[in-house]
Amino acid sequence: MMNFRLGQIHLQSFTNQTIIPKEMPAYLHPSSVYFQKIDHPVFQDLEVYLLRMDLLDHVISGNKYFKLVAYLEDAIQKGFKQIGSFGGPFSNHLVALSKFAKLYEHEGKRFEACKGIVRGKLKKNHHLSKTLAECVSYEMQLRFVDHAQYDDRSYREILKAESPDVYWINEGGYGFLGAEGFRQIKPWIDPSFDHLLCASGTGTTAAGLLKVAMPHQKVHAFSIVGGHLGLRSEIEQLLSPQEQDRKQQLETYLGFEFGGYAKRDPQLIEWINRFWDQHQLPTDFIYTAKLIVAMLKLAQQGHFQKNQKLLALHTGGIQGNRSIEQMLHFKYADYDQRSTNESKK
Ligand SMILES: Cc1ncc(COP(=O)(O)O)c(C=O)c1O
């Protein structure tokens, strides 16, 4: 287990810099997104900012709009009226898709149905998770599949063949179009930043960052999935032939997984609570908390040069904390309220 101590962290925003990506739909709140400065003794020779993309929307939160937008547009342009994807019972991706597909409109065209294939059968007399209940509230049609079948790649191919009217998005939104959507974050990627950092599941967000990075900017992708040895090549595969030289700007990291994907590591949960108590900054236990802890560790090891400027993405995911809400000092509902207030400041 990592040995680090967290001192007092002072956070201060410079909200007077409002940068709004143009293409975003009116139901998102890009003007709420701001750069939150993280001051910490370990970062004393650096300037470290967190891009609060979680404030875009509490459901289509963080990286989700960017990861989904090009798929939805592609689906509509190809004439699909149904869209679907895959995920677990607390999937940020599925719930974001359910809301986005319901609200999405392109040149007067909309989706008629949105389908969610869920990993794991719903047990008799068990309730839907809060995430899935929210998916249903956005009219997503759920189908539960047992773990073995879900994990069997051939099942997805069969499903796709059986439902040619549905535009299927890969689990977690992995794919070229997923990364392409991040071109819209370009206005937030100021050239003054030396390092761009994000937590990585499928690596799509990191690939998107590489697409918009300036040649002098390094992209750091931290795997949150234990033993994800293929992360680097999966990110690289999302670059076009013209973007291949950008591979040199990429660094990937294993070792900050805290036991692996969605594991409830007690030290990490304690860290999240302390961070919240001190700063009212919500982090999720699967992605962003691990990212910040990893940055602290790297800075402590002198990984970055003096006076360099870092930008880390808050990719959202707070709704996923509902699976461990009883262990946390903040609730998703409070956070939602808070984020709404914050955006009004
Ligand atoms: C909140 C959050 N952060 C980060 C990620 C990782 O993104 P990616 O799969 O693009 O690497 C995900 C997964 O989509 C996520 O839900």
For ligand 1, the distance from its centroid to the CA atom of residue 124, given in whole angstroms, is 31
In ligand 1, which atom is closest to the CA atom of 178?
10
- Tell me which of 129-133, 190-194, 223-227, 341-345 is least confident: 341-345
Q: How far apart are CA 239 and CA 245, in angstroms?
A: 9
Tens-place pLDDT, residues 52-100: 999 999 999 999 999 999 999 999 999 999 999 999 999 999 999 999 9
What CATH number does residue 329 fall under? 3.40.50.1100
For ligand 1, the distance from its centroid to the CA atom of residue 315, given in whole angstroms, is 7
Cβ proximity of 316 and 54 under 8 Å:
yes
57 with 68, same domain: the answer is no
List, in sequence order, every beta strand (DSSP E) within 61-188.
82-87, 113-119, 140-145, 166-168
Residue 185 is predicted with a pLDDT of 93
Q: Is 282 in the pocket of ligand 1 (CB under 6 A)?
A: no
Q: How far apart are CA 268 and CA 60, in angstroms?
A: 25
Residue 218 is predicted with a pLDDT of 98
Residue 1 lies in a domain: no
pLDDT interval class at 337 (50, 70, 90)? low
Tens-place pLDDT, residues 143-181: 999 999 999 989 989 999 999 999 999 999 999 999 999
Q: Is 62 in the pocket of ligand 1 (CB under 6 A)?
A: yes
For ligand 1, the distance from its centroid to the CA atom of residue 9, given in whole angstroms, is 25
49 with 111, same domain: the answer is no
152 with 214, same domain: the answer is no
Identify which of 180, 311, 314 has the alpha carbon closest to the alpha carbon of residue 239.
Answer: 180
Cβ proximity of 223 and 252 under 8 Å:
yes
Find the mean pLDDT for residues 219-230. Answer: 93
Mean pLDDT of the chain: 91
239 with 201, same domain: the answer is yes
300 with 195, same domain: the answer is yes
Cβ proximity of 79 and 105 under 8 Å:
no
Q: Is 316 in the pocket of ligand 1 (CB under 6 A)?
A: yes
Residue 321 lies in a domain: yes
For ligand 1, the distance from its centroid to the CA atom of residue 201, given in whole angstroms, is 5
- Tell me which of 22-31, 132-141, 203-212 is least confident: 22-31
Question: What is the span of the domain harbouring residue 220?
Answer: 10-63+176-344
For ligand 1, the distance from its centroid to the CA atom of residue 173, given in whole angstroms, is 9
CA 123 to chain centre: 29
Instruction: Name the residue of 52, 60, 63 whose CB sits within 8 Å of the most ligand 1 atoms, as the mutation to test its pocket.
Output: 63
List, in sequence order, every beta strand (DSSP E) within 155-208.
166-168, 195-200
Q: What is the DSSP string of 209-241?
A: HHHH--TT-EEEEEE-STT-TTHHHHHHTTS-G
Residue 10 is predicted with a pLDDT of 61
57 with 71, same domain: the answer is no
Tens-place pLDDT, residues 249-267: 999 999 998 888 888 899 9
Q: Is 89 in the pocket of ligand 1 (CB under 6 A)?
A: no
pLDDT interval class at 12 (50, 70, 90)? low
Structure-model confidence comparison of residues 138 and 227, the more confident one? 138
Residue 340 above 60 pLDDT? Answer: no
In ligand 1, which atom is closest to the CA atom of 224?
6
pLDDT interval class at 7 (50, 70, 90)? low
Q: What is the DSSP string of 236-273?
A: HTTS-GGGGGGGGGEEEE-S-STTSTT---HHHHHHHH
32 with 137, same domain: the answer is no
CB atoms within 10 A of CB 329: 14
pLDDT interval class at 126 (50, 70, 90)? confident
Q: Is 315 in the pocket of ligand 1 (CB under 6 A)?
A: yes
232 with 338, same domain: the answer is yes
Q: Would you call 98 helix, strand, or coil by DSSP?
A: helix
188 with 246, same domain: the answer is yes
For ligand 1, the distance from its centroid to the CA atom of residue 261, given in whole angstroms, is 11
Residue 5 lies in a domain: no
Residue 343 is predicted with a pLDDT of 44
pLDDT interval class at 15 (50, 70, 90)? very low
> How many domains does the structure of the chain reveal?
2
**Which one-letter amino acid corresponds to residue 138?**
Y
Instruction: Name the residue of 55, 225, 231, 315 whose CB sits within 8 Å of the most ligand 1 atoms, as the mutation to test its pocket.
Output: 315
Q: Is 93 in the pocket of ligand 1 (CB under 6 A)?
A: yes
The protein residue with its alpha carbon nearest to ligand 1, atom 15, reads: 317
Q: Is 203 in the pocket of ligand 1 (CB under 6 A)?
A: yes
Residue 335 above 60 pLDDT? Answer: yes
Residue 334 is predicted with a pLDDT of 77
In ligand 1, which atom is closest to the CA atom of 207?
10
32 with 150, same domain: the answer is no
